[in-house]
Amino acid sequence: MKIRYAAWLAAALALLAIACAPPGLSPAQKEEADRQLDLARAMETTQDLRRSLHMYTIVAETYAQSPQGALAAQRAAMLYARPGNLQRNDSLALHWFRTAVARIESPDMRDQIQLSMFLLDRSALQKQELRRARMIADSLQLVVRRQGATIASQIRRMGELERTLGATSSELRRLKDVDIQISRNQQQR
């Protein structure tokens, strides 16, 4: 009786091991994934980056738990992060880098991807700092322009006041001369 339960227990453990094992690709699926990866690489080589990105993301999503899916996620991330790519998108690059890190088994590759993620994050922070610095510079230029306009207005006003003061001063001298002349005329009488 113990032998009979042992056989059932062994069969149950074998089924459990098969059910819990990571799903592998059938040879046909592996061949199809490799073909799609080759097609994506060819598109990348000919600089058809939009279609190449599309193929890499399809492979990464379709064959998610396979080495081909992990490689496709990494390649998609690298293309999204590429500076010359018109479809460059740092947030999508980070998404695919994170996806690749979770799927890739090689510690060296994981380290490289994490370094790429760090550099991408650092680049994003520097872009934010650059935007902030530009905003500050624009704000300071606006203040300088306003101050320049205020100073120019004040200089014009000072010129007007100087002319008015000069005219008033001339008028006062003339009135003084008239007053002196009137005084002399009264003294002579």
pLDDT digits (tens, 9 = 90+) for 60-108: 999 988 889 989 998 999 898 888 888 888 888 888 888 888 888 888 8
How far is it, in rounded angstroms, from Cα 88 to Cα 96?
Answer: 13
Average pLDDT value over all residues in the chain: 84
Q: With 0-12 CB in 10 A as exposed, 13-18 as middle and 19+ as buried, what is 59?
A: buried
Say whether 169 sits in a helix, a strand or coil: helix
- The alpha carbons of the chain give a radius of gyration, in whole angstroms, of 41
Q: Tokens for 132? A: 């902030």
How far is it, in rounded angstroms, from Cα 55 to Cα 165?
Answer: 82
